[in-house]
Amino acid sequence: SAVISQKPSRDICQRGTSLTIQCQVDSQVTMMFWYRQQPGQSLTLIATANQGSEATYESGFVIDKFPISRPNLTFSTLTVSNMSPEDSSIYLCSVWLVNTEAFFGQGTRLTVV
Amino acid sequence: TQLLEQSPQFLSIQEGENLTVYCNSSSVFSSLQWYRQEPGEGPVLLVTVVTGGEVKKLKRLTFQFGDARKDSSLHITAAQPGDTGLYLCAGVGGGSNYKLTFGKGTLLTVNP
């Protein structure tokens, strides 16, 4: 199994500012994933973060808005830039252990005012 | 784009009742997973179904994967208040991507 710690667990931010979310895993993993879960909605994949290369973004998400770092095999950050109220969501990081299952952090609940 | 349609979106039942949640797609997935998410937490895996026609049981929960590997169902027998939560189905695309496609989720409330 994998234990994933996300920080912060929640934050209230002013529009126009940026927030960086940290994700720490207790084991080395090749791929880490960032999801967004809007209120009452399911999870939407933002990007896949691989160590040593640029993140791969899904349709509708761009690097300028959601820059991602992946400095090593146990850590990643997601920044939500120039925030607006529409960015209010839960942001979750996730990892796969090969051929088993996806593990998720507890999420970061972001409110933009 | 692979899409998963999940129904119903909301379900409120009394303790002891049975229920079924459906997950349908026009695409074939290499496997399908069911997750349960509680408020303030990330989703937690309940089961993975891989083979067409497969049925898996987890105590009072029964999961079925359609023969064509495009749909799945979750049946809960004698629901309890502890079953309350958001149930998500997720299709696994296969290959080396390990990308999950999630359904919209079913918010289940079991009233005592």
- For position B1, what pLDDT does the model report? 60
Residue B97 has pLDDT above 70, yes or no: no
Region A59-84 average pLDDT: 96
Cβ contacts below 8 Å, chain A against chain B, sum to: 50
- A43, A44, A91, A92, best to mutate vs chain B, most B CBs in 10 Å: A43
Express each pLDDT in B58-85 by its tens digit.
Answer: 999 999 999 988 899 999 999 999 999 9
Nearest by CB to residue B40, choosing from A40, A94, A106, is: A106
CA B15 to chain centroid, in Å, comes to 20
Residue B31's pLDDT band (cuts 50, 70, 90): confident
* Among the listed residues B43, B39, B83, B67, the one whose alpha carbon sits nearest the alpha carbon of residue B75: B83
> Do the Cβ atoms of A112 and A13 come closer than 8 Å?
yes
Residue A23 has pLDDT above 60, yes or no: yes
Give the chain B residue whose CA is nearest to the CA of A34: B99
Nearest by CB to residue B45, choosing from A43, A48, A102, is: A102
Whether A74 and chain B come into contact, CB under 8 Å, resolves to no
- For position A99, what pLDDT does the model report? 63
Radius of gyration, alpha carbons of chain A: 13
Region A51-68 average pLDDT: 92
A4 to B42: CB separation less than 8 angstroms, yes or no:
yes
Cβ-based neighbour number of residue B22 at 10 Å: 16
Whether B103 and chain A come into contact, CB under 8 Å, resolves to yes
**Furthest C-alpha separation in chain B:** 44
Using a CB-CB distance cutoff of 8 angstroms, which residues of chain A are in contact with residue B40?
A: 9, 106-107, 109
Where do we find the tokens 């958001």? B86
Sorted by sequence, the CB contacts under 8 Å of residue B96 that are 6+ apart come out as none
Cis ω for the linkage preceding A39 (within 30 of 0): no
Beta bridge partners of A49: A32
C-alpha–C-alpha distance, residues A110 and A79, integer Å: 12
Whether A43 and chain B come into contact, CB under 8 Å, resolves to yes
